[in-house]
């Protein structure tokens, strides 16, 4: 007790100088802590706003670029279709000179609004008139516009979109050189194209994003002198050249940010140049509301001032706890915004993502997953995962296994959207506080095309090895075989036995015949060992199949099998006509041999992305799953009289064209062979 009293006395006996120093030290310590935290929190908030602005700018720029690209592609498609139809009309005109009545008939059947034919002097010699229009006068003033084609400077000409002379809407006008001399011109309705531009245009995109007032003050798209598009609350803005910040942003590739004034308040502005086909077409400026930023800074300043008035350690501790709680709330709000942007990024992922909660109900289906499983997220959300994905048991088992083991990676075959897909799945457990299970997430990557390509590569490697082996063996056998043939011929010519001459002749000639037969097989060996020599020419695939269809149909009719042809590709491919006929004949003959009397074979031609597909489907016996990987092997056959070289040679020819053969078959139901070729 005495010792404690002595200590208290020593503390009380400290001079005011030391006490003041200790007090100042505590104040400076807490003041320094407060200033450090102020700057740290301020930089954190600025970083979050900068990230938010950069993501929004990226989304806006990508959306605008995609909108412009989509409009240009649709216009190119419409223009190409119109010019192709005009060229087709020129072919008809070459066969016999078309009249106005002919043009009216063609225009009515092909969807062309109006057709005109001009002679070499630019005089219109034939024209069509829509049924609901009065006929135009024979003369019109388009000679100057058509001069580049009339003079031979251009083979075709796009005159652009112009208003109809009858005032019935915009028309896309094009012209091509006439083989008889002159020009064939036509136009189609461009109302849909202009509507598409208005719907997909940058102005509409800015209006839609600007309509969401959450966090956005304004959006401006401007060039160096004027506003190109903006949200409704913008009537005028500063030009680029006097503003050094905007001038710097015009020549940089990364978004620039600044705090500026708008409508009497502070906004956080992000600026980035907007490019179309690598051409700078202006600046994109987005003003974000800085209210939460200002409020957060004000709170931090208040805390700093409050710390200056505190002299007790307990009050300082309590004050820090209160401010920490406030900061936690602010960080949660910032986290919520970041989470919103994370959801946007998740939606733009190429992989399919599906999440379920602790009760196995679907909580998230991103757009790639919607496309993969052919469903909408609105239909799936909140429903049990077993009901949403009933056709994919491997996916369901992966989700359930992830809920039990935590993380699982597997590749599996899944039926989705009416097709079989090979998927690579990453299944992970979602846990909350205290390791409580909150659900599971599946990230799925479609490996179907990758698997198919790998099978083609493996198949080609195997066939190349077999071909090289066959070529080597053929060369080794050919020399002694030729010697045997020559000796047998000499025995037949130069020697005559004294007895049984007829038997002798028969045996010798049998040897010569068999030598010739083996030599024919060797020729096949050598041909298979060499890469096919192609004579490629561009052909219209629909016309090519139609011209060769009678030959293929005759193969099926021999066995009373119904044979149908459906064309719809409307594109050009570069092929060797003769060798591709051999491929089609081999596959159709196999289909005929596998199909019973009264069955059917369907040949269909269509486009798939940048590829043309010739699909041959039969209702035959099908191919057993165990034998399916071997059907392209050399000398593999299931027929008693088959050589086993037809599909091998067909696959080799298609591969030489830069294509591949896809096969799907079910035993007892039939087979589908698809010849995939790149477009010209």
Q: Which domains does the chain have, with CATH numbers?
A: 201-293 (3.30.450.20), 349-446 (3.30.450.20), 452-529 (1.10.287), 537-678 (3.30.565.10)
- Give pTM, 2 decimals: 0.39
Region for 646 from its dihedrals, namely left if φ exceeds 0, alpha if ψ lies in -120 to 50, beta otherwise: alpha
Q: Give whole-number Cα distances, 218 to 165, 434, 610, 637, in Å.
A: 41, 44, 41, 71
Radius of gyration of the CA atoms of the chain, in A: 39
Q: Mean pLDDT, to the nearest integer, of 170-181?
A: 89
Q: Count CB-CB contacts under 10 A for residue 75.
A: 19
Q: Give whole-number Cα distances, 450 to 201, 300, 318, 455, in Å.
A: 36, 55, 62, 9
Q: Give whole-number Cα distances, 34 to 43, 332, 333, 407, 558, in Å.
A: 14, 21, 22, 43, 95
- What is the band of 617 on the pLDDT scale with cuts at 50, 70, 90? very high
Helix (H, G, I), strand (E, B) or coil at 115: strand
User: What does the mean pLDDT of the chain come to?
Assistant: 77
Eight-class DSSP state of 312: -
* Strand spans (E) along 87-138: 114-118, 124-127
Residue-wise burial string across 279-309, b where 16 or more C-beta atoms lie within 10 A, e elsewhere: eeebbbbbbbbbebbeebbebbeebeeebee
Region for 382 from its dihedrals, namely left if φ exceeds 0, alpha if ψ lies in -120 to 50, beta otherwise: left
Eight-class DSSP state of 179: T
Q: Mean pLDDT, to the nearest integer, of 204-233?
A: 73
d(CA 426, CA 444): 7
Question: 294-298, 308-312, 327-331, 605-609: lowest mean pLDDT where?
Answer: 308-312
pLDDT at 11: 41
d(CA 601, CA 608): 21
Question: 102-106, 269-273, 468-472: lowest mean pLDDT where?
Answer: 468-472
What percent helix, strand, coil does the chain show, rounded to 5? 50, 25, 25
pLDDT at 13: 45
Terminal C-alpha separation, the chain:
103
pLDDT at 7: 44
Tokens 């009289």 correspond to what residue? Answer: 641
Q: What is the pLDDT of residues 647-675, one digit of tens each?
A: 888 888 898 888 888 888 888 889 999 99
d(CA 585, CA 652): 15
pLDDT at 678: 92
Residue 209's nearest CA partner among 220, 224, 198 is 220
User: Is a pLDDT exceeding 70 seen at residue 459?
Assistant: no
CB 414 within 8 A of CB 421: yes
pLDDT at 541: 92
- What is the band of 483 on the pLDDT scale with cuts at 50, 70, 90? confident
pLDDT at 209: 67
Tokens of 411: 């590749």
pLDDT at 330: 76
Output the CA angle 35-39-44, nearest 5 degrees. 145
Q: Of 188-192, 195-199, 262-266, which one has max mean pLDDT?
A: 188-192
Residue-wise burial string across 51-68, b where 16 or more C-beta atoms lie within 10 A, e elsewhere: ebbbbbbebbbebbeebb
Of the chain, the percentage scoring pLDDT greater than 70 comes to 75
d(CA 660, CA 458): 12
Cα torsion angle, 516, 522, 528, 532, sign: negative
Cα torsion angle, 129, 134, 138, 139, sign: negative
User: Is a pLDDT exceeding 50 seen at residue 354?
Assistant: yes
d(CA 248, CA 251): 6
Give me the half-sphere count of Cα atoms (radius 13 Å) on the Cβ side of residue 432: 6
Angle between helices 646-656 and 577-594 (to 10 degrees): 140
Residue of 493 and 3 predicted with greater confidence: 493
Cα torsion angle, 263, 269, 273, 275, sign: negative
CB 409 within 8 A of CB 329: no
Residue 166's nearest CA partner among 230, 114, 239, 98 is 114
User: Is a pLDDT exceeding 70 seen at residue 592?
Assistant: yes
Q: Mean pLDDT, to the nearest integer, of 446-473?
A: 70
Residue 268's nearest CA partner among 327, 208, 337 is 337
pLDDT at 152: 83
pLDDT at 540: 93
Q: Give whole-number Cα distances, 520 to 169, 512, 524, in Å.
A: 69, 12, 7
pLDDT at 308: 64
pLDDT at 211: 55
User: Is a pLDDT exceeding 80 seen at residue 591?
Assistant: yes
User: Is a pLDDT exceeding 70 seen at residue 394?
Assistant: no
Residue 157's nearest CA partner among 183, 118, 188 is 183
Helix (H, G, I), strand (E, B) or coil at 639: coil
CB 220 within 8 A of CB 237: yes
Question: 149-158, 166-175, 456-465: lowest mean pLDDT where?
Answer: 456-465
Question: 15-29, 144-158, 432-446: lowest mean pLDDT where?
Answer: 15-29
Tokens of 37: 């935290």
Cα torsion angle, 304, 306, 312, 313, sign: negative
Q: How far is CA 438 from the centre of its chain?
A: 34
User: Is a pLDDT exceeding 80 seen at residue 135?
Assistant: no
Question: 73-87, 444-458, 618-632: lowest mean pLDDT where?
Answer: 444-458
d(CA 457, CA 406): 36
Q: Mean pLDDT, to the nearest integer, of 61-90?
A: 82
Q: Mean pLDDT, to the nearest integer, of 38-67?
A: 74
User: Is a pLDDT exceeding 90 seen at residue 124?
Assistant: no
**CB neighbours of 673 closer than 8 A, spacing ≥ 6?**
587, 591, 615, 616, 617, 661, 662, 663
């Amino acid at each position: 007790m005495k010792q404690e009293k002595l200590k208290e006395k020593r503390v009380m006996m400290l001079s005011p100088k030391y006490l003041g120093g200790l007090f100042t030290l505590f104040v400076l310590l807490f003041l320094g802590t407060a200033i450090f935290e102020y700057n740290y929190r301020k930089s954190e908030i600025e970083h979050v706003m900068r990230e938010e602005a950069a993501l929004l700018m990226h989304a806006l720029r990508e959306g605008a670029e995609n909108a412009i690209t989509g409009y240009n592609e649709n216009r190119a498609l419409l223009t190409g279709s119109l010019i192709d139809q005009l060229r087709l009309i020129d072919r008809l005109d070459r066969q016999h000179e078309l009249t106005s009545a002919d043009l009216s008939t063609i225009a009515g059947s092909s969807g062309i609004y109006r057709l005109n034919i001009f002679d070499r002097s630019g005089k219109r010699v034939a024209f069509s008139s829509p049924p609901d229009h009065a006929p135009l006068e024979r003369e019109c003033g388009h000679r100057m516009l058509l001069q580049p084609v009339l003079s031979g400077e251009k083979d075709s000409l796009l005159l652009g979109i112009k208003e109809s002379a009858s005032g019935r809407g915009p028309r896309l006008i094009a012209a091509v050189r006439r083989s008889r001399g002159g020009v064939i011109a036509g136009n189609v309705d461009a109302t849909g194209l202009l509507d598409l531009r208005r719907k997909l245009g940058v102005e509409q995109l800015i209006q839609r994003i600007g309509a969401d007032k959450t966090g956005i003050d304004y959006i401006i798209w401007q060039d160096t002198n004027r506003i190109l598009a903006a949200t409704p609350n913008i009537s005028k803005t500063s030009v680029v050249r006097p503003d050094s910040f905007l001038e710097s942003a015009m020549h940089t590739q990364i978004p620039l940010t600044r705090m500026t004034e708008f409508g009497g308040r502070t906004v956080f502005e992000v600026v980035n140049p907007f490019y179309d086909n690598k051409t700078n077409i202006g600046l994109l400026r987005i003003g974000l509301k800085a209210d939460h930023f200002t409020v957060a800074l004000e709170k931090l300043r208040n805390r700093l001032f409050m710390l200056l008035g505190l002299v007790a350690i307990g009050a300082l501790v309590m004050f820090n706890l209160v401010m920490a709680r406030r900061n936690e709330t602010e960080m949660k709000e910032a986290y919520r915004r970041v989470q919103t942007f994370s959801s946007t990024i998740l939606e733009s992922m190429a992989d399919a993502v599906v999440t379920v909660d602790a009760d196995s109900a679907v909580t998230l289906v991103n757009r790639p997953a919607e496309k993969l499983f052919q469903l909408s997220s609105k239909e799936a959300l909140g429903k049990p995962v077993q009901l949403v994905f009933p056709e994919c048991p491997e996916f369901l088992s992966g989700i359930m296994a992830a809920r039990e083991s935590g993380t699982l990676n597997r590749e599996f075959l899944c039926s989705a959207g009416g097709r079989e897909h090979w998927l690579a799945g990453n299944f992970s457990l979602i846990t909350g506080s205290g390791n409580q299970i909150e659900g599971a997430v599946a990230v799925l990557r479609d490996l179907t095309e990758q698997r198919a390509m790998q099978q083609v590569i493996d198949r080609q490697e195997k066939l190349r090895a077999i071909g090289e082996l066959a070529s080597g063996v053929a060369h080794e056998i050919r020399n002694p075989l030729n010697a045997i043939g020559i000796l047998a011929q000499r025995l037949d010519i130069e020697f005559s036995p004294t007895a049984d001459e007829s038997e002798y002749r028969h045996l010798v000639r049998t040897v010569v015949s068999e030598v010739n037969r083996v030599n024919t097989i060797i020729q096949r060996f050598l041909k298979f060992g060499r890469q096919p020599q192609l004579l490629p020419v561009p052909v219209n695939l629909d016309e090519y199949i139609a011209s060769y269809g009678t030959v293929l149909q005759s193969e099926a009719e021999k066995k009373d099998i119904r044979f149908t042809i459906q064309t719809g590709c409307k594109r050009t491919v570069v092929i060797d006509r003769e060798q591709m006929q051999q491929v089609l004949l081999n596959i159709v003959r196999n289909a005929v041999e596998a199909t019973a009397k009264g069955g059917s074979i369907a040949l269909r031609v269509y486009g798939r992305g940048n590829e043309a597909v010739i699909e041959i489907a039969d209702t035959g016996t099908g191919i057993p799953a165990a034998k399916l990987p071997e059907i392209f092997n050399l000398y593999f056959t299931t027929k008693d009289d088959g050589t086993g070289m037809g599909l091998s040679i067909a696959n080799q020819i298609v591969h030489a064209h830069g294509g591949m053969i896809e096969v799907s078959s079910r035993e007892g139901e039939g087979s589908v062979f698809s010849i995939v070729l790149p477009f010209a």
